[in-house]
Amino acid sequence: MPVFYGTEIASALMLGTAQYPSPTVLAEAFRRSGAGVATVSVRREAGSGDTAQGQQFRALVEALGVALLPNTAGCHSVREAVTTAQMARELFGTNWIKLEVIGHADTLQPDPFGLVEAARLLTDEGFAVFPYCTEDLVLCERLLEAGCEVLMPWGAPIGTGLGLNNLYGLRSLRAQFPEVPLVVDAGLGLPSQAAQAMELGYDAVLLNTAVAKAGDPAAMAEAFAGAVAAGALAHRADPMPPRDMAEPSTPVLGKAFLT
């Protein structure tokens, strides 16, 4: 099981809490997935202006019985992200924060410069920062230097369902930082893509849209749970490397030859 900032998580599957058709469906999806972490958008849930609705949502996510990871979704500047993180700590009583500093409106690609600056400021304030980043090795090195102990590279842009767009980059990141907890965050659309991430040796996956927008979110959540478990087991089993040439699975020794 993954360990983040000294805390062991019950599952390598992390789920978001947005876009579900109802609170009942959300709760059932978490129950069937066995997810170990729930992410919560502070701007969306606390900024609606409806105090009663916000309290109800908070009670709902706390009743899930999993670790809460507030996030700074929708923040496009360092100041926004840091302020939102501070709000999250007051609202949810946790130093954990998923840090998002968006730099491109269409792709929702992280702003690497703002991300590093915000990460440094927040770690100095005692936050345990989970940065949503790209698979760029230099950026990830800077985030670690800023105090992050977890990296969360995207598989593809948020909500696209494209899967792992840059296998080489993700594989290189795993090889470069073998001891750092790595989470593929965003872009997954199918359970097979989550299994692929775990087969690469990643510690966890985080997704939202692929489950929340499915025809049957609870069933899809369970499917992702099975895929994550299978991928992790496959990685531990030390899979065979790919080959360019065929290799017979049946030995030639002992084969009858006609003369």
Question: Which segments are annotated as binding site?
Answer: 159, 186-187, 208-209
Rounded to whole angstroms, how far apart are CA atoms 179 and 23? 37
Closest CA to 18 of 35, 50, 43, 55: 43
Whether 91 contacts 61, CB under 8 Å: no
User: Which positions make up the binding site for 1-deoxy-D-xylulose 5-phosphate?
Assistant: 159, 186-187, 208-209
Rounded to whole angstroms, how far apart are CA atoms 212 and 223? 13
Of the residues 43, 98, 142, 174, only one is catalytic, namely 98
Distances (CA, A) of 213 to 12, 25, 78, 104, 184: 21, 11, 30, 24, 19
Query: What is the greatest pairwise CA distance in the chain?
Result: 88
Cβ burial of 1 (10 Å; 0-12, 13-18, 19+) is exposed
Residue 117 has which token pair? 């600056």
Residue 226 has which token pair? 């099975």
Q: Count the neighbouring beta carbons within 10 Å of the beta carbon of residue 123.
A: 18
98 carries an active-site annotation: yes
Q: Is 184 helix (H, G, I), strand (E, B) or coil?
A: strand
Catalytic residue IDs? 98
